[in-house]
Amino acid sequence: MSIERYDIVIVGAGPVGLLLSTCLARWGYKIKHIDMRPVPTVTGRADGIQPRSLDLLRNMGLKRAIMANEPAKVYEVAFWDPAENSKGIHRTGTWASCPKFIDARYPFTTLLHQGLIERVFISDLEQNGVKIQRPWRITGFSSDGVDKHHPVEVSIAHVDGDKEETIRAKYLFSGEGARSFVREQLKVGITHKDPIAHVWGVMDGVVRTNFPDIKMKCTIHSDAGSIMVIPREANMVRLYIQVASSTDADWDPRKTATTDQVQATAKKILAPYWIEWDRVEWYSVYPIGQGIADRYTLDERVFMGGDCCHTHSPKAGQGMNTAFLDAQNLAWKIHHVESGFADRSILKSYESERKLIAENLLNFDAQYAKLFSQRQPSAGEVGPASKHPTGDEKVDENEFIKMFKASCEFTSGYGVAYNENIFNWSDSHPAKSPLFLSEKAGSTTQRPGRILSPATVTRVADANVVHLEQEIPLNGSYRIYLFAGKPSMTKKAVDDFATNLNKKGSFFSSYTRPDVSQLDYHEQHNPHSLFFTINTIFNAHRPDIEVRALLPELLARYFDHVYADDIWDQRVPNAKAAAHAKMGLSEDEGGVVIVRPDGYVGCAVKLVEGSGTVDALNDYFASFCTKSLGGGERAQL
Amino acid sequence: MSIERYDIVIVGAGPVGLLLSTCLARWGYKIKHIDMRPVPTVTGRADGIQPRSLDLLRNMGLKRAIMANEPAKVYEVAFWDPAENSKGIHRTGTWASCPKFIDARYPFTTLLHQGLIERVFISDLEQNGVKIQRPWRITGFSSDGVDKHHPVEVSIAHVDGDKEETIRAKYLFSGEGARSFVREQLKVGITHKDPIAHVWGVMDGVVRTNFPDIKMKCTIHSDAGSIMVIPREANMVRLYIQVASSTDADWDPRKTATTDQVQATAKKILAPYWIEWDRVEWYSVYPIGQGIADRYTLDERVFMGGDCCHTHSPKAGQGMNTAFLDAQNLAWKIHHVESGFADRSILKSYESERKLIAENLLNFDAQYAKLFSQRQPSAGEVGPASKHPTGDEKVDENEFIKMFKASCEFTSGYGVAYNENIFNWSDSHPAKSPLFLSEKAGSTTQRPGRILSPATVTRVADANVVHLEQEIPLNGSYRIYLFAGKPSMTKKAVDDFATNLNKKGSFFSSYTRPDVSQLDYHEQHNPHSLFFTINTIFNAHRPDIEVRALLPELLARYFDHVYADDIWDQRVPNAKAAAHAKMGLSEDEGGVVIVRPDGYVGCAVKLVEGSGTVDALNDYFASFCTKSLGGGERAQL
């Protein structure tokens, strides 16, 4: 019997494994997905979906199913500190969870039990023919290369040990969580950023209380200890309480606490307010060490992501969100390699891009955890005069709050900034055209490696008011935003853009889809190539845009992706064309913004008459795609 | 065997029957619901959900499930007319489907196949233990009063005739559609508003075309006839074509047309654009007479609603929406009578309120249908000089468009305006307090009998930004909006308001729920009475509102219904407290707005110190509730 072959074996059906699996299943890959647990998460675990992740879930068409569970939404965080004269606690202030200076569509954190989130993915996977094989675990693997096309051999077994399978795959992915068999086998070490470890208690339950902020996210520091309050769906509340710290004199990483002990501590911390539990849904005490895997892959065949690669405290609600973005980053890169668009070497950028983010996260977390677990001085101790703390103990009362505020962009998910590389254009990129726009030069606000700014526009075909950044689903395509300025001024440049896209050897024409001649008339996103979807946005009123008259045939084929930039935006109140203005492009002359399949900006190019715009893009794509483009030399990676 | 007893027997599971059933099932009534069809609507029929109906569906928690079907959304309507020199058609303009002057949350029409909408209701019903009995029909009924509590006897049978049941009920409702057994048995006549009848062809299908507005709602007049284009979910398009009119020389109400004939006509009308059908999902030709039932009920025990009471052309997309509002209107009135809150006589207002709306609809429809089926003159025929048409044939080119624009408020559903009656306060209402506010006096913008203005506010408990008008679900309760102005200025008035609500004999304390002592701590909407939910809205920033410090205990119990009026609104850009301003209330002193359970304003009262505010409300409620209130005389109905 011949051995079964898969494109990928995914181990672990938590957030990272599920998102990866969902993407690849939609794009037609053959997947073996296993999980050790007999059923999805029943209680507890992660529950915070940050604003940026909600964008991603919406882009995957999963947001509505998530929201159908009526999650709690956190718009503000309240800070509570010791009151003067030891009279319990008082609120020292509140701060937006995702403040207005962050341009977020969904400026709140969504709180929902991880199991409910997993089920949304699982249901989507089932529609694409993938069923998680449970409870199965991985028992061995080797990237032996015996089969050139499926170089990884993987052994899996039922957790009871009574059934076994050996299969081959192009890739193996471990989303196993902190205790990863794959990582151990690879002998990949964990680096601990912060030597301090903590033991945390976390309790989900339904409470009665007169504490006024029980439906808000709160950080509470009191003389009796510190606590974090997180509201949840269905009237639930999660409390995080620090049970022990390696800075304690009697530090014991196996120190524990009973439900009753934690509740008693919570009561003391919340005094003078009272709190009682109707029921406890989940309670767990666990030690948390900060750690980051030294490598995310050794050979770009066996990959790891999520908690397997980075562990940290749960309090900033970053775990699941970082896992989602790990998976999304890897998914389209595997897709671009396996579908013949991009050079295999791009897979190296998974580790370089995502490990940086994890390092930033751990740095943030170490600071945050340290400040959080310090007892904050009471108002009386600090007083109005003590602006200059005299020692470590006497930190400025607002240091924690200050850090919280400074970190909002990061915790909302919008702070993710990938460094310059082949995808994220910079002066040092192999593509050197003078037409590239940059924030530094003031010719665009869009920064390579950062998310595209959101913008509201009117879709010409049906006059629907839409979110431009959401118009292309997560389909694995590069998103070409042709900001076409004023039609009267850009007519020739737009025609030339299309003409040069059509030329043999352009990045666009070199990757025509093989089934292009038999395509459905109603194909909206990929009528020419699986790797590109083109949006055209005019600085004009919708009724004045006659798509087939204004646009050359190639661009008019994206009939459902033509937009009028005619919606007023409070953030650029004086702009005539708000989307152009938000992108920092000329409202008259426009510009082209290339966005990676994951929504991060790749580069921006001036829109000019002649071939210059497409030439620049040919150079950009030539730096990582599989073919020579534009007749020029293949750029060196 | 004793006869089975129900609160209500509902015949017909179209929109009107389903919405009524859904409300009553949620409120705990025992329902027998039958439908002649073996399954829900499979293809065709109604498909337009107007903006106001979307508000209602959201208020019922059903909007998300509707939207999960990815319906088409119509934001604009395009008008096409004969081009000059008989060169086919040209677009003469577009107009917002729900223009900005209408303050709508969802300024678009949602287009979705009726069967998908029915399934959303059916699934909700099943969660409340109601299963539609299919395919069963009604075979007889008599409102015989033999059983005082269940005065209506109803006979139903399987459509095959092999099974029969006789049951008794408090009410019988016919949502049978235009051919109603119940209406015939009651010998209720139909009055035809417009003697002109039409035969219409309607075709749902997937098309290919270069007609640019195929994803818009279009009204097209050409020399070859008239057509209406309605986009639908899943790339479908609905076309309405008039096949015959009683004004034709050869009028034949049984005239028909084949699919091919209609397609051929459509091709001629759309020329010079081409159109081809990939598939036709549904095609039907049917005569439409305008008609309105003379009565909606004879005895307030057997009721009718929906198409059973009013038929008209389908083109303005009003049928299902009017049906929804019929059902909603009846549901809470039955509930208030059966739960002992309101006098039985309020049931008379179902007919008086809803028949007026149907009459308005028919008047609109007659005009609209007449204008629509007239051939519009071409630009050349009218020309710039012909501003004064010389005859009936030479109507102003814009008459149809003018009427369309003038009718937007009506067609969006926001034009529904119930006349003054016991619910809708006016100078002639039995309650005479000088504290009542009115639009006429300029003391409020809120008009009794019209929908409450939407307003965005911040919920204090969790800092969520919410739609105030949606904060109370459709739970059968009156909605008391206490706009409390500036806390510093209204402190005593707010305290007095609570004190007087608490007084024995107030409208509020007279209807305490019987289980008030065993209520769940987490009960949010009805902690005191099933008939009232109280919202308090302060002109203050959210962090400055300490609910339990600012509000007396009674009001603080509605902890999740306290709001900060601190969100800027483009419609009242200079207001400090936009919600207060939109209601036309003093931003300092506030006011109380009473909203009926269906979202229509009942009355508005000045917020004053002392008992005046509650006294006025006692008088208002005393006009229709079952108890004497406030120690005064029971007002005459």
CB contact under 8 A, A462 and B216: yes
pTM for this entry = 0.92
Question: Which segments of B92-224 does DSSP mark as H helices, in order?
Answer: 114-127, 181-185
Angstrom distance (rounded) from CA B585 to CA B299: 41
Which tokens go with B260?
């091919």
Least confident of A527-541, B280-294, B374-388, B414-428: B374-388
pLDDT attached to residue A248: 82
CB A236 within 8 A of CB A206: yes
Selected for mutation to probe chain A from B58, B90, B215 (highest A CB count within 10 Å) is: B215
Helices B15-26 and B319-338 cross at an angle (nearest 10°) of 30
The answer to whether the Cβ–Cβ distance between B547 and A212 falls below 8 Å is yes
Domain A4-67+114-192+292-363 falls under CATH 3.50.50.60: yes
pLDDT for residue A293 is more than 70:
yes
Q: A522–B206: do the CB atoms touch at under 8 Å?
A: yes
One-letter amino acid identity for B347?
L
pLDDT in tens, B200-231: 889 999 999 999 999 999 999 988 888 999 99
Is any Cβ of chain A less than 8 angstroms from the Cβ of B72?
Answer: yes
A-chain CB neighbours of B108 within 8 Å are 464
- B546 and A206 within 8 Å at the Cβ level: the answer is no
Check if the beta carbon of residue B15 is closer than 8 Å to that of residue B122: no
**A42-62: average pLDDT:** 92
Judged by CB atoms closer than 8 Å, whether chains meet at B462 and A94 is answered as: no
Distance CA B124, CA B84 (A): 53
Residue B275, pLDDT > 80, answer: yes
Contact between chains at B464 and A75 (C-beta distance less than 8 A): yes
Tens digits of residue pLDDT in B509-536: 999 999 999 998 999 999 999 999 999 9
Question: Using CB atoms, which residue from A93, A215, A464 is nearest to B75?
Answer: A464
- Under the banding of pLDDT at 50, 70 and 90, the label for residue B393 is very low
Locate the chain A residue with the closest alpha carbon to B78.
A543
DSSP secondary structure string, A505-545? TSTTGGG--TTGGG--TT--S-SS-TTEEEEEEESS-GGG-
Report the chain B residue with the minimal C-alpha distance to residue A541: B94
| pLDDT at residue number B396 | 45
Q: Which chain B residue lies closest to A465 (C-alpha atoms)?
A: B75
Q: Would an 8 Å CB–CB cutoff place A73 in contact with chain B? A: yes
What ipTM did this prediction achieve? 0.91
| B541 touching chain A per CB within 8 A | no
What Å distances lie between residue B148 and A229, B7, B138, B152, B429, CA to CA? 56, 13, 22, 9, 32
The answer to whether the CB atoms of B206 and A93 lie below 8 A apart is: no
Q: Do A212 and B546 touch (CB under 8 A)?
A: yes
CB contact under 8 A, A68 and B73: no
Interface test with B, best of A111, A229, A464 (most B CBs within 10 A): A464
Q: Does A212 contact B465 at a Cβ distance shorter than 8 Å?
A: no
More confident residue, A520 or A175: A175
Sign of the Cα pseudo-torsion (B135, B140, B144, B147, in order): negative
Q: Which of A67, A462, A560 sits opposite B64 (nearest CB)?
A: A67
CB within 8 A of A292, min separation 6: which ones? A190, A191, A193, A309, A310, A355, A358, A359, A362
Contact A522/B108, CB-based, under 8 Å? Answer: no
Q: Which of B493, B517, B472 is nearest to B588 (CA)?
A: B493
pLDDT for the residue B276: 96
pLDDT score for A535: 98
| Percentage of chain B modeled with pLDDT above 70 | 95
Q: Taking residues A315-325, what's their average pLDDT?
A: 88
Residue of A nearest to B72 (CA): A462
| A76 vs B: CB within 8 A | yes
On whether any CB of chain B is under 8 Å from the CB of A571, the answer is no
pLDDT classification of A157: cutoffs 50, 70, 90: very high
DSSP code at position B512: B
B637: pLDDT strictly greater than 50: no
In chain B, residues with a C-beta closer than 8 Å to the C-beta of A64 are 64, 67-68
> Cβ distance B550 to B544 under 8 Å?
no
Question: In this predicted structure, what is the pLDDT of residue A399?
Answer: 76
* Pairwise CA distance, residues B93 & A250, whole Å: 79
Nearest to A196 by CA among A393, A366, A374, A361: A366
Which of 1.25.40.10, 3.30.2350.10, 1.10.3720.10, 3.50.50.60 is the CATH number of B4-70+113-190+291-363?
3.50.50.60
What is each CA distance from A159 to A5, A32, A138, A141, B277, in whole angstroms? 22, 16, 9, 16, 55
- The verdict on a CB contact (< 8 Å) between A546 and B212 is yes
Would you say residue A391 has pLDDT above 60? no
Residue A582's pLDDT is what?
98
- For B211, which residue in chain A has the nearest alpha carbon? A548
* Chain segment B36-72, per-residue pLDDT in tens: 999 999 887 778 999 999 999 999 999 999 999 999 9
Is A91 strand, coil or helix? strand
For residue A295, the cross-strand partners are none
Burial of A551 (0-12, 13-18, 19+ CB in 10 A): buried
**Contact criterion met (CB below 8 Å) for B552 and B499:** yes
CA pair distance B413, B499, nearest whole angstrom:
38
pLDDT 10s digits, B82-115: 987 767 999 998 989 999 999 999 999 999 999 9
Contact A108/B464, CB-based, under 8 Å?
yes
Q: Considering just the CA atoms, what is the radius of gyration of chain A in Å?
A: 26
Nearest chain B CA: its distance from A203 CA (Å):
19
B164 close contact with A: CB closer than 8 A: no
| Predicted pLDDT at A218 | 95
Q: What's the whole-number mean pLDDT along residues A427-431? A: 97
To the nearest whole Å, the CA of B149 is away from the closest chain A CA by 39
Residue B208 near chain A (CB below 8 Å): yes
Q: Is A546 on the interface with B (CB under 8 A)?
A: yes
Pick A231's closest partner by Cβ from B76, B231, B462: B462
B604 phi and psi, to 5 degrees? -135, 140
Q: In chain A, where are the structural domains located? A: 4-67+114-192+292-363, 456-622
Does residue A301 register a pLDDT over 50? yes
- B619 CA: distance to closest CA in chain A (Å): 36
**pLDDT tens track for A63-109:** 999 999 999 999 999 999 998 776 799 999 898 999 999 999 999 99
- In this prediction, residue A376 carries a pLDDT of 57
| Confidence category of residue B374, pLDDT binned at 50, 70, 90 | low
Mean pLDDT of chain A: 91
Q: How far is B151 from chain A (nearest CA, A)?
A: 41
* A279–B contact, CB cutoff 8 A: no
Task: Answer whether B67 touches A (CB < 8 Å).
Answer: yes
- Residue B631: band (very low, low, confident or very high) from pLDDT cuts 50, 70, 90: low
Predicted pLDDT at A375: 58
Confidence grade of residue A377 (pLDDT, cut at 50, 70, 90): low
Tell me which chain B residues have a C-beta less than 8 angstroms from the C-beta of A108.
Answer: 464
Residue A238 has pLDDT above 80, yes or no: yes
* pLDDT attached to residue A635: 36
Shortest Cα–Cα distance, B522 to chain A (Å): 8
Q: What is the pLDDT of residue B389?
A: 33
- Which fold would CATH assign to domain B436-622? Glutaredoxin (3.40.30)
**Domain A456-622 grouped into CATH 3.40.50.300:** no
> Above 50 in pLDDT, residue A384?
no
Whether residues B462 and A72 touch (CB distance < 8 A) is answered with yes
Is the pLDDT at A247 greater than 90? The verdict is no
**With contacts defined as CB-CB under 8 Å, which chain B residues touch A67?**
64
Assigned token pair, B394: 């030479």
Mean pLDDT over A223-231 rounds to 91
Q: Is B79 on the interface with A (CB under 8 A)?
A: no
DSSP state of B449: T
Chain B contact set for A521 (CB, 8 A)? 208, 278
Q: What is the pLDDT of residues B165-196, one digit of tens each?
A: 999 999 999 999 999 999 999 999 999 877 77
Confidence category of residue A225, pLDDT binned at 50, 70, 90: confident
**CB proximity A276 to B under 8 Å:** no
Answer yes or no: do B462 and A278 touch at CB < 8 A: no
pLDDT surpassing 70 at residue B575: yes
Give me the percent of chain A exceeding a pLDDT of 70.
Answer: 95
What is the average per-residue pLDDT within A261-269? Answer: 93
Indicate yes or no: CB of B75 within 8 angstroms of CB of A465. yes
User: Which pLDDT value is given to residue B160?
Assistant: 94
What pLDDT digit, counting tens, does each position of A579-630 carry?
999 999 999 999 999 999 999 999 999 999 999 999 999 999 999 999 999 8
